[in-house]
Amino acid sequence: MSELFNTSMVLTADPPAGFRYQMAAVSDSTLMATALRFGGSNRTDAEEFPQFIVAHAVAGRHRWSVGQESGDGRIPFLVPPATAFSARFTQLQLRAVSLDADTFHRVLRGMLGEEPPRLRTDRVNGSAQRHSIVAETLRFIEATLLADETVATSPLLRAQFTHQLVATIATSFPLLGEHSHTRAQSSPRTVRRAIAFMEEHVAEPITIGDVALAAGTSVRGLQLAFRRSYEMSPSAFLRRIRLEGAHADLMAADAGARTVREIAARWGFAHTGRFAHQYAEAYGEPPSHTLRR
């Protein structure tokens, strides 16, 4: 546990005879998804974590303390960096996702279109909203990253999960306090800068937040600009460019050496069925037919 969460942790089972432990985890230097199961009654303590952690107890009894707050793990909760944590739990099944603090700030900066204010990290759980969205985000990340190695090893898909996680945390927990920012003005030049950045970095794990930063606007400003210019979202435009990349790979691939699923994941498409539908709409045939040519 200490190695997994990169901090010193104490875990005590009471009584020891009832202790059981199972874990599944996918981790890199920025994002980690874990599914934890504990049998028996246990308690754990940590002085602090270096990352943001959001967790949800989907089964069992769970009571947590985060800084000066305490609560029931059946409602998703956030552990900010450098905040003391302890928990008491019985027959626990826990979903948890952690995100490197520097990555969180970088993605948030792209969403806001400016440097974020100093984040509020005390008493953020008591004022949290949209608990069901947080719970669904954790469920979705577990069901994709932990269940499918092809998805877990795709840099593009991991970047998408990171962006989704930051957006969920920032809109559900009052980290920004009463902050309101001035939206950067968008223009056709903004769209041109955004498209140039997308095309140059299409095979890299960029997000719409990264595109907005490169274009000199906020995510909201970028969305409005693309709606005016192309009647589509910047996410849809980036997906179209990546679909072109997948088409080129399918055309060039040896059918015996590569699969549609592998190519789809490389270009950021987590769901093969959805990818096949979008591909067929764009190119008039299923991707499997292109691969067999």
CATH topology of domain 2-172: Jelly Rolls (2.60.120)
Rounded to an integer, what distance in angstroms lies between the CA atom of residue 181 and that of residue 184?
A: 9
Strands (E), 19-175: 20-27, 31-46, 51-66, 69-72, 77-79, 85-100
- Residue by residue, pLDDT tens for the chain (293 residues) are 888 888 999 999 989 988 999 999 998 888 999 999 999 999 999 999 999 999 999 999 999 999 999 999 899 999 999 999 999 999 999 999 999 999 999 888 877 777 777 888 888 998 888 899 999 999 999 988 888 888 888 888 888 889 889 989 988 999 986 544 444 456 788 899 999 999 999 988 888 888 888 888 888 888 889 988 888 999 999 999 999 999 999 999 887 788 999 999 999 998 889 999 999 999 999 999 998 87
In what helix (H) or strand (E) does residue 9 lie, and over which residues does it extend? Answer: strand 9-13
Residue carrying structure tokens 């849809």 = 236
Q: What per-residue confidence (pLDDT) applies to 76?
A: 95
SS3 41: strand
Could you tell me the two tokens for 287? Answer: 């991707």
Q: CA 243 to CA 290: how far, in whole Å?
A: 13
Q: Which residues contact 16 (CB under 8 A, 6 or more apart)?
A: none
DSSP string, 200-211: HSTTS---HHHH
At residue 218, the 3 state secondary structure works out as coil
pLDDT at 110: 78
Tens digit of each residue's pLDDT (9 = 90 or more) over 167-202: 899 889 999 865 444 444 567 888 999 999 999 999
Task: Encode 36-50: b = buried (16+ Cβ within 10 Å), e = exposed.
Answer: bebebbbebebeebe
In 3-state terms the chain splits into helix, strand, coil percentages (rounded to 5) of 45, 25, 30
The pLDDT value given to residue 84: 93
For residue 181, what pLDDT is reported?
Answer: 45
Domain segments of the chain as ranges: 2-172
